[in-house]
Structure 1
Amino acid sequence: MTDQTARALPPIVDQQSWRAALADLRTREKAATRELDAIAAQRRRLPMVALPDYTLIGPDGEIRLVDVFEGRSQLITYHHMWSDGAQWQCGGCTGLTTQWTRLGVLDNYDARMVIVTNGPIDEALAYRAKVGNRMDWYSSADSSFGADVDAPPGGGFAVNVFLRDGDTVYRTWHTTGRGTEQLSYTFALIDLLPWGRQEEWQDSPAGWPQSPTYSGWLDSPDVARLYGPATDAR
């Protein structure tokens, strides 16, 4: 604990005052929950657009996008930023995607989630193993799929959602930037803490510890060290 964090303490009050303050906050938390429910309801009512019959590349070679569903009706893809030949890929993408280790729960919802990258499949699979990622990876290096769903080569990351009806695939939702935070458990946990994310942009009381944005994030080498094949962390 530094001198700064030692001084960064919330006011100390009695139990009654604490419960009253918590109840006041709970009103806003409940309102946010109801708003998220309303947003999800609107998302379920979005129109969709039919896609061409894309061919991706998986561990076993070429595979049609419709077959990436593996018989399910719904598919979520995380499009991982990629630089061909780089030793380490995007730290944000690496840190986020290595969180997703138990996706079997989606089976009960007729859905699957995978990673797609514009990089060569051999490089992608080697990187997957290097950083301890446990998801299924596919490459769109030989198709326009990444660019067509707003994750072009040399571009940013993205989340897309698709619905399959027979052999036809439809695109139903897309987000990027902070829109992907809802898929991360780490931010949810950190935001519960008294000091929060401790980033300069956040609205925090005077004296709270704050550092440059992203400075507390794990970078790709950190992820590999913690969760890669050389550890027992998995």
Structure 2
Amino acid sequence: MTTTATPHPPVVDDSTWRAELAELRAREKAATRELDAIAAQRRRLPMVEMPEYTLESKDGPVRLVDLFDGRSQLITYHHMWSPGAEWQCGGCTGFTHQFTRLDFLRRYDARFVVVTQGSIREALAYREKVGNDMDWYSTANSSFGADVDAPPGGGFAVNVFLRDGDTVYRTWHTTSRGVEQLSYTFALMDVLPWGRQEAWQDVPDGWPQGEAYERWLDSPDIAGLYGRTSA
């Protein structure tokens, strides 16, 4: 048998592996049921009525209610923004580049868009530069971002809204690691034997570890892979 210095889990027989997998599966099933219960509680949250806002789209000024495009539910990702910067937040750029096929949300009477504090001209140019496929809007001339916990110079956020006629209600908000549940990238990393390979994770001795974010694609990497204006 050929061996290497690559760290790996202990090698066992099939029955031992299946027994330990079954033990882990019980915890995974319990976590799934807890996530179901959390989602049920989320669906029972009260909501707050929003005032009218005017944002900027690629076609000019639009009302907040127009972002729904006739649908009843709306998710907004609030992209961190540094005016005039060549490259915007790598985490936000990486997160939003995942979403290339969102038309399925029509079946759920919903839409998912990006909102940023950057000017619409800058935002659309950056969207093209990094090859982002989502619809972008600017709240640079509106208090909308600040009012939903994504102010100028602030962090990223996800917000969810419900429309009843022309009245918009805010139903949910999260930020920081709460956004991970919307991402497939972290889920894929977490099923790998070495995980995310970041020093904060609980791993066996000898596992490859690095600093947090060390392996994340930065904005120039994403532009190089997906940008529509790259060479």
Normalising by structure 2, report the TM-score: 0.97
Determine helix, strand or coil for the equivalent of 2:86. coil
The equivalent residue for 2:223 is 224
**Aligned: 1:148 with 2:154:** no
Letter in 2 for 1:221: P
- 2:230 & 2:204 partners in 1: Cα distance? 39
- 1:231 & 1:101 partners in 2: Cα distance? 18
Post-superposition offset of 1:6: 3.2
- 1:90 & 1:229 partners in 2: Cα distance? 19
Post-superposition offset of 1:229: 1.2
The equivalent residue for 2:49 is 50
Check conservation: 2:129, 2:230, Cα contact below 8 A.
Answer: no
The equivalent residue for 2:19 is 20
The equivalent residue for 1:175 is 174
- 2:229 & 2:16 partners in 1: Cα distance? 50
The equivalent residue for 1:209 is 208
**Aligned: 1:84 with 2:91:** no
- 2:109 & 2:159 partners in 1: Cα distance? 16
Determine helix, strand or coil for the equivalent of 2:142. coil
The unaligned stretches of length 5 or more in structure 1 are: none
Determine helix, strand or coil for the equivalent of 1:114. strand
- 1:105 & 1:67 partners in 2: Cα distance? 19
- 2:185 & 2:111 partners in 1: Cα distance? 22
Note the aligned Cα RMSD (angstroms): 1.1
Please give the per-residue CA displacement for 1:114-140, whole angstroms capped at 9, x wherever unaligned: 000011000000000000000000000
Check conservation: 2:74, 2:112, Cα contact below 8 A.
Answer: yes
Determine helix, strand or coil for the equivalent of 1:6. coil
Please give the per-residue CA displacement for 1:12-59, whole angstroms capped at 9, x wherever unaligned: 000000000100000000000000000000000000000001110000
Please give the per-residue CA displacement for 1:130-171, whole angstroms capped at 9, x wherever unaligned: 000000000001110000000000000000000000110000
1:121-200 matched pairs, under 5 angstroms: 121-200=120-199
- 1:41 & 1:218 partners in 2: Cα distance? 34
Please give the per-residue CA displacement for 1:61-83, whole angstroms capped at 9, x wherever unaligned: 10000011010000000000001
**Aligned: 1:118 with 2:120:** no
Following TM superposition, the consecutive aligned residue runs of length 4 or more in structure 1 with deviations greater than 6 angstroms are none
Please give the per-residue CA displacement for 1:70-129, whole angstroms capped at 9, x wherever unaligned: 100000000000011000000000000000000011000000000000110000000000
Check conservation: 1:57, 1:121, Cα contact below 8 A.
Answer: yes
- 1:6 & 1:48 partners in 2: Cα distance? 55
Determine helix, strand or coil for the equivalent of 1:75. strand
Check conservation: 1:7, 1:207, Cα contact below 8 A.
Answer: no
Determine helix, strand or coil for the equivalent of 2:45. coil
Determine helix, strand or coil for the equivalent of 1:82. coil
Post-superposition offset of 1:231: 6.3
- 1:231 & 1:89 partners in 2: Cα distance? 16
Normalising by structure 1, report the TM-score: 0.96
- 2:31 & 2:175 partners in 1: Cα distance? 21
Letter in 2 for 1:65: L
The equivalent residue for 1:70 is 69
- 1:107 & 1:214 partners in 2: Cα distance? 34
Determine helix, strand or coil for the equivalent of 2:205. coil
- 1:101 & 1:210 partners in 2: Cα distance? 31
